[in-house]
Amino acid sequence: MLAQRETDAAIGTHYRSERVSSVNGQYFFATREGTLEGPFFTRVDAELAVQRYIGRMHQAQAILTGRAR
């Protein structure tokens, strides 16, 4: 998949991978920013947290660029 974010310096190839992982029965998700978020008790909790995280990142970007409602 070829994709470029506004903040990326050059075009690059990005491969989709499983975002949620399990370590010792607890669930975590990795972000593009290189952080590991968690722990969560269930995979469902982690997947819901991914969606909330993405929403917060979009909201933060909108605020920074002056496009906030």
The yes-or-no verdict on residue 65 having pLDDT over 60 is yes
- Residues 13-53 pLDDT 10s: 655 567 899 999 999 999 988 999 999 999 999 999 999 99
**Hey, CA dihedral for 17, 30, 60, 12, is it positive or negative?**
negative
Phi, psi (degrees; rounded to nearest 5) at 44? -60, -45
Name the band, by pLDDT with cuts 50, 70 and 90, for residue 1: very low
- Model-level pTM? 0.69
Domain enclosing residue 19, as ranges:
2-65
At residue 14, the pLDDT reads: 55
Q: How many domains does the chain have?
A: 1
Q: What does the CA dihedral 5, 11, 13, 16 come to, rounded to 10 degrees?
A: 0
Please state which of the ranges 8-12, 41-45, 64-68 shows the lowest mean pLDDT.
8-12
Residue 1 near residue 16, CB atoms below 8 Å: yes
